[in-house]
Amino acid sequence: MKSTQTTATSEAAPADRQQLLARLQQAPTWDLLVIGGGATGLGVALDAAARGFSTVVLEAHDFAKGTSSRATKLAHGGVRYLAQGNISLVHEALHERTTLLRNAPHLAQPLGFVMPSYHLWETPFYGTGLKMYDVLAGRAGLGPTEFLSRMGALRKLPGLRAEGLKGGVAYWDGQFDDARLALALARTAAARGALVLNYCPVRALRHEGGRLAAVACEDAETGRQFEVRARAVVNATGVWVDEVRAMDAHAQAARHAPLVVPSQGVHIVVDQDFLPGPHALLVPKTADGRVLFAVPWLGKLLIGTTDTEREHAALEPRALPEEVAFLLRESARYLGRAPQPQDVRSCWAGLRPLVKPRHFSGAQTRSVSREHTVLVEPGGLVSVTGGKWTTYRAMAEDVLDKCMQHGLLDTRPGGVTRELALVGAMQGASAHALSEPPGLHLYGSEAPSVQALPGAEHWLAPGLSEAMVRFAARHEYARSVEDVLARRSRMLFLDARLAGGLAPAVAAILGEELGRPVPVDDFLALARGYARLPA
């Protein structure tokens, strides 16, 4: 069955903030209010809106500002979860991967991987496991696993260290642009009638008769206060889920039984000539038992990741020196030319909201399950956390099922997003077929709308035009230089120094669109942090 094309277009869903705030004030009671505009919250909002529920999303910062823009950019079934014996999670993720690739072909595509073997036993051992991966995928598979000779592995990964190489295994998984996918979810939900608002933090939860009835929120730009009533409230704030639970006077246990243990994942980005070609590298077991990826992404090479427990959930987490040293050291073991600190274009960290086991004793977070959990508090607050990007859609269905089971929402049939194409989806075309000019492919069917704006031929840098900045302001909810250079464009994550240099020009264009001065100092400080490795 082909995906159902949405009616969302750039003209149909403009992002005029004053109109959005007016809608927030006018609505008497929403069916569903979602706190948090990351992958999970936006997935819930889209599913609810597609079922016909009146839906509002309140995000304290920008959409995907936190964890949801800091992934390894892989839509995958989880090869290492297979090694852990978590067959159900792998099976679900493999089928959700196919759904994602079908419904957002401009943002998600198949990606070939090579797992090199430097010991003779590795090819049959890992190859057998990956053949099982193929079996679990079934018709959702992207291509067969291949056993590679030494020369076969070097042909697929020309930058691989040849010394001691015995062969390898090639297999297929998926890749996507996380921040832009989150934005596509937000805009598709808006096209289905949802109200999505960034920079509108929730300050308090309001109860009536012991039941959660409303939230108090604030427009971060003006300080205006709003009370928003809703029949169901979903807390989808990721690593900050326990902070929202602590606002709930009817969930006293939240202060004593946190749901989440944050785990930090760090990535470094270097030029792609360290590993040229379209294939990615996967090392299933590094010197300390972790997984290492080296993935081509938007013309650069993304190397990650780490898994470090963190006590506090910082909005802008920073890499630890030992994490960067680990990535440089391990990548040097597998790349023919080892990246040096001066080769790093950008270094950034994200926090995974891992569901804390009941008897978690400080064990390594890489052993904690990546499955999600949904908890309904006595007062009606629905909290969801954990999970992974690939399964956002299935998580959303689970959340709505729980809301209906507890009488917070009317019962309505599910499965409505399984065949729902996201805004910009262009059937029969992939991102690689739409890659001229560079960066325009990420807009899919909306590319002509971008090109129709002033500045379409004025390129600020490869992959970013003046017209793209204007489109971000008019249709993609961009309010700051960071919104444009970190998440509408991915420049901050690809080349932080270049992003810093572009900031004044982006601020000027954005200022014209928003009708107010747009500051650059905060972004310049942020870019310096991404460009500078921790001492």
Q: Give the CATH class of 110-175+261-355.
A: alpha beta
Confidence band of 123 (pLDDT split at 50, 70, 90) = very high
pLDDT attached to residue 145 = 96
**Are 265 and 350 within 8 A, CB to CB?**
yes
pLDDT at 78: 75
Q: Are 346 and 494 in contact (CB under 8 A)?
A: yes
- Give the strand pairing for 55-58 and 195-197: parallel
Query: What is the tens place of the pLDDT at every residue in 280-314?
Result: 999 988 887 888 999 999 999 999 999 999 988 99
Task: Please report the pLDDT score of residue 207 as a whole number.
Answer: 95
Q: Distances in Å between the alpha carbon of 153 and those of 123, 390, 417?
A: 11, 28, 39
| pLDDT reported for residue 140 | 83
Is 534 exposed, middle or buried (CB count within 10 Å of its CB: 0-12, 13-18, 19+)?
A: middle
Share of the chain above pLDDT 70, in %: 91
Least confident of 87-101, 155-169, 421-435, 509-523: 421-435
Furthest C-alpha separation in the chain: 71
Domain 435-531 is of which CATH architecture? Answer: Orthogonal Bundle (1.10)
Asked if 484 and 472 touch (Cβ cutoff 8 Å), the reply is: yes
**For residue 255, pLDDT beyond 60:** no
β-pair type (459-461, 167-176): unpaired
What fold is seen in the domain 17-67+180-256+365-405?
FAD/NAD(P)-binding domain (3.50.50)
User: Across 75-89, 132-146, 160-174, which has the greatest mean pLDDT?
Assistant: 160-174
As a whole number, mean pLDDT of residues 239-260 equals: 79
Mean pLDDT of 319-346: 97
- Position 77 scores a pLDDT of 77
Greater confidence (27 vs 162) lies with 162
Lowest mean pLDDT among 217-226, 356-365, 431-440: 356-365
Q: What is the pLDDT of residue 86?
A: 75
The SS3 assignment for 185 reads: helix
Q: What is the C-alpha separation between 475 and 458, in angstroms, rounded?
A: 19
Separation CA 206–CA 29 (nearest Å) = 13
pLDDT in tens, 473-527: 999 999 999 999 999 999 999 999 999 999 999 999 999 999 999 999 999 999 9
Domain ranges of the chain: 17-67+180-256+365-405, 110-175+261-355, 435-531
Is the pLDDT at 9 greater than 80? The verdict is no
Report which of 398, 48, 31 is spatially closest to residue 189, judged by C-alpha positions: 48
The answer for residues whose C-beta is within 8 angstroms of residue 446's C-beta and 6 or more apart is 9, 10, 423, 424, 471
Residue 2 pLDDT > 60: no
Using the predicted structure, report yes or no on whether residue 434 has a pLDDT greater than 60: no
Helix residue spans in 444-520 (DSSP H): 447-451, 466-475, 481-482, 491-494, 496-514
For the record, the structure tokens of 204 come out as: 């308090």
Task: Check whether 124 has a pLDDT greater than 70.
Answer: yes
Please determine, for residue 4, whether its predicted confidence score (pLDDT) is greater than 80: no
What pLDDT does 209 receive? 92
The model's confidence at residue 10, banded by pLDDT at 50, 70 and 90, is very low
Q: Residues 178-214: pLDDT tens digits? A: 999 999 999 999 999 999 999 999 999 999 999 999 9
Residue 291 to residue 324: CA distance in whole angstroms: 14
Residue type present at position 265:
G
Q: State the pLDDT at residue 137.
A: 86
Q: Are 472 and 507 in contact (CB under 8 A)?
A: no
pLDDT-based confidence at residue 81 (cuts at 50, 70, 90): confident
Give the pLDDT score at 37. 98
Ranges 20-29, 112-121, 290-299, 362-371: which has the least confidence = 362-371
pLDDT at 371: 80
Say if residues 82 and 129 touch (Cβ distance below 8 Å). Answer: yes
pLDDT at 252 over 80: no
Lowest mean pLDDT, pick from 203-212, 315-324, 330-339, 348-357: 348-357
Residue 1: what pLDDT?
A: 35
Closest CA to 295 of 56, 109, 151, 437: 109
Give the pLDDT score at 290.
Answer: 83
Q: State yes or no: pLDDT of 256 exceeds 70.
A: no
Q: What is the mean pLDDT of the chain?
A: 91
What is the Cα–Cα distance from 81 to 84, expressed in whole angstroms? 5
Is residue 8 predicted with pLDDT exceeding 50? no
pLDDT in tens, 143-173: 999 999 999 999 999 999 999 999 999 999 9
pLDDT of residue 138: 87
Lowest average pLDDT, out of 78-82, 382-386, 393-397, 446-450, goes to: 78-82
